[in-house]
Amino acid sequence: MKIVVLDGFALNPGDLSWENMKTLGECLIFDRTKPEEIFDRIQHAEAIITNKVLIGKSLIDWLPDLKYIGVTATGYNVVDVQAAEERNIVVTNIPAYSTDSVAQLVFSHILNIANRLELHTNSVKSGDWIVNPDFAYWKTPQMEIAGKTLGIIGLGRIGQKVADIAEAFGMKVIFQNRSPKNNISKGWIQKSLEEVFSESDFISLNCPLTNENNAFVNRKLLMSMKASAVLINTGRGGLIHEDNLANALNSGVIAAACLDVLSTEPPSSDNPLISARNCFITPHIAWATFEARQRLMNITVDNLKQFQSGNPQNVVKA
């Protein structure tokens, strides 16, 4: 089987191994692939492995040998799944590989807001403590998160992990989910979207991006939040109306935003959130711990192996 990995660098910048993938066939691995390079690289491929490279209908129709597309992510919108189904091409994804890592970054952002450790560490290194007349000082208000309310939008695997951690910190958990969650045995309270936004001290977006919720975090919802509230997004950048959020931050409608995702990645230089007040942005790293990427690599290989054995797993449908 001829296997082509189109954009393997993000998954494996050099600290993992492709050796198990190479045992499954003739394997060509590219760190990155530009749009104009795609067809030449995959025209005779039987299996394609992609993360962000788009595999659309017009491309699929020109690939007579193609039998399998493996997406090295949970979201699979980069592939025209319906076009693949029409050609009996199997498409797989990688579910639930980064749950712990994403939840961890949610709380990295929350704790950064609460204590601003790097700011204070840099202050000490610059000599501020040496010349301070007191034994202690702080450059930002120090916050105890126990007793604060965390609102979660999307109570799937990641949302539930975030809720578990919040509970361990002594936070109150409220949530909104697109379908009712009737089997929650813990003290988490399901509320309407409007109630979650108006009552929460921190709001964590952990829902998928759909046509229905595109840019749903808009001016109206932001205006309903507490002035002291913090918005956290480790889901998808498209969930937020970015101009509305930038305006809310710059005018003090909400206290801060912590974002690991933006609507376009990498962002353009004129993205209003880059320079917005109290906007803490990380470059889409929630999924990227070594442990999560190792799981991702293992499942990617196993998905292809199971397909070759006639028992495909993690198959996605249109």
265 is catalytic: yes
Q: Which member of 41, 157, 178, 284 is catalytic? A: 284
**CA angle centred on 258, ends 272 and 118, rounded to 5°:** 110
Question: What's the token pair of residue 243?
Answer: 């101009």
Residue (of 116, 200, 119) closest to 163 by Cα position = 200
Q: Which member of 236, 241, 293, 295 is catalytic? A: 236
- Please enumerate in sequence order all residues whose Cβ is within 8 A of that of 29, keeping only pairs 6 or more positions apart, or say none: 5, 8, 18, 21
Q: Strands across the sheet with 279-281, in order? A: 189-190, 172-176, 149-153, 202-205, 230-233, 256-259, 279-281
236 is catalytic: yes
- Please enumerate in sequence order all residues whose Cβ is within 8 A of that of 58, keeping only pairs 6 or more positions apart, or say none: none
Tell me phi and psi for residue 199, to 5 degrees.
Answer: -100, -15
Tell me phi and psi for residue 202, to 5 degrees.
Answer: -130, 140
Catalytic residue IDs: 236, 265, 284
